[in-house]
Chains A and B, each alone.
Chain A
Amino acid sequence: MATSETIFREYRPSDAERSDRSAGDRLRHREKVRESIRENIADIIAEESIIGKNKDKVIKVPLRGIKEYRFIFGENAPGAAQGDGNAQPGQVVGKTGKDGQGQGEGQAGDRPGVDYYETDVTLEELIEIMFEDLELPNLERRALREIPSDRFAKRKGYRHVGIRVRLDKRRTARQRVMRQMAARKYETVAPADPSSLDEAGEERRFPFRKDDLRYKHLEIDTREESNAAVLCIMDTSGSMDTMKKYLARSFFFLLYQFIATRYRSVEIVFIAHHTEANEVTEEEFFHKGESGGTFISSGYQKALDIIAERYHPSLWNLYAFHCSDGDNFDSDNPAAIRTARELCDVCNLFGYGEIKPLGSRYYESSMLNIFRRLDAPNFQAVLIERKEDIWPSFKAFLSKDRVKE
């Protein structure tokens, strides 16, 4: 027999809002996820899917180290389940948990597949994590070349006059209450109640006056704006195959994203060259195949021309990077060195990435030896042999970025 009355506790929205109890644990979990991403960043960068996507793109990142491990049974543990009425031996009823789609949590339970875990991060978040990983303090300290711009309106204080939309209702109401309190007569008997009723039982009105009004004051904030231009130069001669282009593209992608986090506005220029150079669109840059030989100097010269024309070095932070397989015509080498030196003079950073899919560097000519003669402090040449090299090379490249203060 029931001994005591059942209690019903009604739903109160305030309770529900107040007690987001899992917030702390979610935050902690999120931190773990970030940590895990940071540890695996090189692998994620090497994944094809993130390159060339826009910032809102959501990426699925498989995570290690965030699983909750226990002792569980492996593959040779049979399970039992219910059929649809005519289960026959040999009938296929599902997939093993390997692909992350367990056969339902209700059954055999702790198969490893069930705990497979991946998380969604936006590309922007990922880039942020990537650059946290870089740890390049030199970059922060460098004086940026800046142009003043007045884009920000900042709140600063309150005024008695202003335009209607900036009326601060809260402060205005407070002013009124203050005035009301001050205007109240000293009362000996009755408790001080500003909203006391008069004989007629009506509430005594106490209207707003003009003095009560308070407006938010906005001040135009002048900020230093910084501009940067990224010049992507790529060899599109016949010897650059898809794989090489893909590696180059990954590198340019990182460079662009990185520069974009540092400057307010970033312009990007694509220069494709074989024996002669052209400024092209992004689409053409990555997809249009060309043929013929290679004059590296042509690309550099084009970059110099564009800089002279549009991006004056005193107003722009310039980053130039060149990807090639290093297969230059010998006769062009002196010109290449000369133009490279000129680029070093005008750019914050100038880099050369030689892309040689694994092994091929032993029998192909290389520009790395030739560029060794170029001893500018803001020049870096890197060798990229496979996807995994991109991240380390990128780090090495940026570590050179310490232009004279």
Chain B
Amino acid sequence: MANYEISDLAEWDKRIREKAAAFGLDWYPQEFEICDHTGMLGYMAYSGMPSHYPHWSYGKAYEKLKTLYDYGVNGLPYEMVINSNPAIAYLMRDNTLLLQILTIAHVYGHNDFFKNNFTYKSTRADLTIERFKAHALRVRRYCEDPSIGIDKVERILDAGHALAFQCRRNLAIKKLDREEQLTRTIEAARPRTDPFSRIHARPEFREPDTHKTPLEPDEDVLLFIRDHNPFLVEWERDLLTIVDEETKYFLPMMETKIMNEGWASYWHKKIVESLDLEQGLHIEFIVRHNQVLRPIPGQINPYHLGFKIWEDLHRRHENPTPEEIKKYGAPAKSGDEKIFEAREVERDSSFLRRYLTEELMREMDLFQYEARGDELVVDKVSDEEGWKTVKETLIKNVGAGSIPVIKVEDGDFGHNRTLYLKHHHDGRDLQLEYAEKTIAFVHRLWGRETVLETTLQGKRSLLCFNDRGFSVRALK
């Protein structure tokens, strides 16, 4: 059983907050809730939300987590914290005092990150809890409505979940409305002023197609369907809106996993070390800290990777080696200034691109692997010639990079109300079985033929799904 009282935690929390404030962290008001392992499994299945709409997939997630936990395959996280104002964190009741101290310090790191990183600006943290509760109420109401019922709701939610992540990646970039896109299209079509127009032949003017829907390829597949399928009824549209809103709430977390975990780990180390723990606690701290941050060969441990980069970034601005000064120039900012700036303006892909150095990659022995037959084989390592490729691959696989980019090209293809989607191929093919099943979901929501242009083994192909089922055609 635990070796502490709630009052102990409050005491430590006060000390931790003093230290955190001294280090310059800035956070939302924090709430901690002590829970047991069933409670934690429950929160994990529902992404930490105290209230969430029902769907069988969460039951599945729970069973999976529970099985893995019961058989000792996976442990439970020490904490879980959600991005809301006030931020809510769950602490495991059975953890030792030291783990609670470490966790509380870690949570303030996350909390600071949620409040300050640019990707979270769109998540409206003040409303998180209420919004999720409202979603839950609405979905439950539809389930209980005798004219709708759970089966119909699931039909839409299943399809919605399948397409949830086919949405815009960087929510900080404003999405233009149709009016603005129209102006931009017309602007782009206008011939440029040519100072030598007298001697040049007049360039041919090509009239822009202003009747197309969408005017510019649209990455928000669900929202496009919601707004352009006239046969969806109000509650169906609402379900799609709910799914989209939730995705966009969770997207920043995906996009900053490495930074966020690294940041929290960086600060929990600093804070706990400054607390002057008694020796017993300090030794336990070192053990736990190293457990969380250990490199896992054959995988990427975001805690480890993030922590390494933050530490390296700080050091390079405080004590750069002569070679580093030669290579990157003398630092213009102090270590703290630099890392606080980075935590505000970067996300994983840009963070890795800017701050993961060749030396660090070599130190961590990062490599690229690919599938050969049934095996995964190391393909490139972080040596002189390989490190750039390895880095590119790593960046491609973080956050939303592991999700194919698919955009709506035309909502009325062939004047037939066929939905034309295009996969923006970056060297990685789609998994065909999954594509087939997912395109069936698009068809379910769109109600008419749906086609997806992609590249399969170097050949441009069109995956079609209509009333007769699924087919693949080669494109010229």
Residues of A within 8 A of B (CB): 1-11, 13, 15-16, 19-22, 24-32, 66-96, 98-99, 103-104, 106-110, 112
Q: Say whether A82 contacts B297, CB under 8 Å.
A: yes
B29–A22 contact, CB under 8 A? Answer: no
Would you give 15 A-B contacts (Cβ < 8 Å), ordered by A?
A: A8-B13, A10-B34, A22-B59, A26-B59, A32-B56, A68-B162, A69-B438, A70-B434, A73-B431, A79-B370, A80-B300, A81-B366, A81-B367, A81-B369, A94-B369
Within 8 A of A (CB), among B190-238: none
Q: Inside 8 A of A85's CB, which chain B residues have their CB? A: 365
Q: Could you tell me the distance between the alpha carbons of A6 and B63 in the complex, rounded to whole angstroms?
A: 33
Interface stretch, picked from B168-176, B342-350, B400-408, B466-474, is B400-408
Question: What CA separation (Å) do A76 and B297 show in the bound complex?
Answer: 22
Using CB atoms and an 8 Å cutoff, list the residues of chain B in contact with chain A: 6, 9-10, 13, 17, 20-21, 26-27, 29-36, 38-39, 42, 45-46, 54-60, 62-63, 86, 93, 150, 161-166, 295-302, 304-305, 364-371, 373-381, 390, 393-394, 397, 402-404, 406, 423, 427-435, 437-438, 441, 457
A98 to B465, CA, bound (A): 26
A78 & B368 in contact (Cβ 8 Å cutoff): yes
> In the bound complex, do residue A9 and residue B32 qualify as a contact, i.e. CB atoms below 8 Å apart?
yes
Asked, given contacts A76-B429, A95-B375, A96-B371, whether A71 binds B403 with beta carbons under 8 Å apart, the answer is: yes
| Contact residues of A: prevailing secondary structure | loop
Name the distance in Å between A125's Cβ and chain B's nearest Cβ. 15
Q: Is the CB of A92 within 8 A of B376?
A: yes
Question: Closest 3 A-B residue pairs measured CB to CB?
Answer: A25-B59, A29-B59, A83-B365
CB atoms of A21 and B302 under 8 A apart: no
Once the chains bind, are B430 and A73 in contact (CB under 8 Å)? yes
Among A4, A22, A80, contact of B393 (Cβ-Cβ < 8 Å): A80
- Please name the residue on chain B nearest to A78 by beta carbon: B370
Max chain B Cβ within 10 angstroms of own Cβ: one of A8, A11, A69, A106:
A69
| Shortest distance from the beta carbon of A64 to any chain B beta carbon, whole Å | 10
**A2–B13 alpha-carbon span in the complex (Å):** 12
With a cutoff of 8 Å between Cβ atoms, the chain A residues found around residue B36 in the complex are 11, 13, 16
**Distance of A222 Cα from B193 Cα, bound (Å):** 102
Whether A80 touches B31, Cβ cut-off 8 Å, given contacts A22-B59, A69-B437, is no
Residues of B within 8 A of A95 (CB): 374-376
A1 vs chain B, min Cβ distance (A): 5
Q: Which residues of A contact B162 (CB under 8 A)?
A: 68-70
Q: What is the CA–CA distance of A250 and B199 in the complex, to the nearest angstrom?
A: 90
Whether the pair A22, B298 counts as a contact (CB closer than 8 A) is: no
Q: How far is the CB of B86 from chain A (nearest CB, A)?
A: 8
What is the CA–CA distance of A353 and B14 in the complex, to the nearest angstrom?
79
Q: Given known contacts A68-B57, A77-B429, A110-B403, is B377 in contact with A82 (CB within 8 Å)?
A: no
A-chain residues with CB within 8 Å of residue B302 when the two chains form the complex? 106
**B56 lies within 8 A of A29 (CB):** yes
Known A-B contacts: A22-B45, A22-B59, A81-B369. Give 16 more (CB < 8 A): A4-B86, A6-B10, A16-B39, A68-B161, A69-B438, A71-B435, A71-B438, A80-B390, A81-B367, A82-B364, A82-B365, A93-B298, A93-B378, A94-B369, A107-B298, A108-B397
